[in-house]
C-alpha cells in the first residue's frame, strides 16, 4: 500500500531563517551606542568619586590643623614653631616618601585679631580668628577649601557665659 502525500515537504526548500545584514548592522550600531554611554557613565561616576575623596581629605587635613590649636595656649597660636604658616600634606601620607602619596595639598594657617565691628570691642583683642586654607589640583582644575574658627585668650566659654 502506497500513501500519497499531497504536499511533498521534503522536496520544497526550507524557509530562510536568521537575520539580514541590515538588521545585524542596526543592532551592532545600537550596541555600540549603549556601550559608549555605559563607558561615559562609569567615567563620570569614577571622576565624581575621586573628586569627593579629595575634597573629604582636604576637610580632614583642615580639621586636623584646627584640632591642633586646642593644645596651644593663646600666645602659641601665631608662633610658627607650633603652627607653621604654610605646609604640605599628601592624600596618602604613608606613601609620600616613595612618591606614591597621591594628590599634594598646600595649606596655610593664619591667626589674627578679628576685624573691628565683628565682635564687641571689650573682648575682640582677646580673641583670635584662625583661618586654615587648603589648595590642590584635581585633574587639571585647581581646588580650594577654607575653614575659620575663633580662639579666646581665657577660653571662649568665659566670654559667652559670663560676658567678660
Q: For residue range 47-74, list pLDDT tens digits in order.
A: 999 999 999 999 999 999 999 888 888 8
5 falls within a domain: no
Question: Mean pLDDT for the chain?
Answer: 85
Q: Are strands 141-152 and 104-112 parallel, antiparallel or unpaired?
A: unpaired
- pTM given for the model: 0.72
Number of structural domains the chain divides into: 1
Q: Is the pLDDT of residue 99 over 60?
A: yes
In whole angstroms, how far apart are CA 77 and each of 12, 58, 69, 103, 109?
98, 21, 7, 28, 9
11 falls within a domain: no
pLDDT for res 101: 80
- Could you tell me the three cell numbers for 67? 584640632
146 falls within a domain: yes
28 falls within a domain: yes
15 falls within a domain: no
| Domain containing residue 99 | 21-161
8 falls within a domain: no
pLDDT for res 61: 94
Q: Is the pLDDT of residue 104 over 80?
A: yes
Q: Is the pLDDT of residue 42 over 70?
A: yes
Q: For residue range 81-97, list pLDDT tens digits in order.
A: 989 999 999 988 887 77
4 falls within a domain: no
Among 20-34, 70-84, 115-129, 149-163, the minimum mean pLDDT is found in 149-163
Q: Is the pLDDT of residue 152 over 90?
A: no
Amino acid at each position: 500500500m502506497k500513501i500519497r502525500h499531497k504536499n511533498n515537504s521534503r522536496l520544497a526548500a526550507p524557509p530562510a531563517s536568521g537575520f539580514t545584514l541590515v538588521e545585524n548592522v542596526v543592532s551592532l550600531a545600537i550596541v555600540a551606542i549603549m556601550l559608549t554611554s555605559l563607558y561615559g557613565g562609569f567615567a563620570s561616576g569614577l571622576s565624581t568619586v575621586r573628586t569627593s575623596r579629595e575634597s573629604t581629605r582636604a576637610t580632614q587635613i583642615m580639621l586636623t590643623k584646627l584640632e591642633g590649636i586646642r593644645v596651644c595656649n593663646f600666645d602659641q597660636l601665631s608662633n610658627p614653631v607650633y603652627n607653621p604658616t604654610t605646609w604640605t600634606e599628601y592624600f596618602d601620607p604613608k606613601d609620600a616618601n616613595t612618591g606614591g602619596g597621591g594628590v599634594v595639598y598646600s595649606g596655610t594657617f593664619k591667626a589674627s585679631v578679628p576685624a573691628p565691628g565683628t565682635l564687641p570691642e571689650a573682648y575682640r583683642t582677646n580673641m583670635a580668628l584662625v583661618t586654615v586654607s587648603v589648595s590642590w589640583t584635581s585633574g587639571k582644575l585647581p581646588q580650594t577649601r577654607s575653614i575659620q574658627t575663633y580662639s579666646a585668650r581665657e577660653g571662649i566659654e568665659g566670654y559667652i557665659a559670663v560676658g567678660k
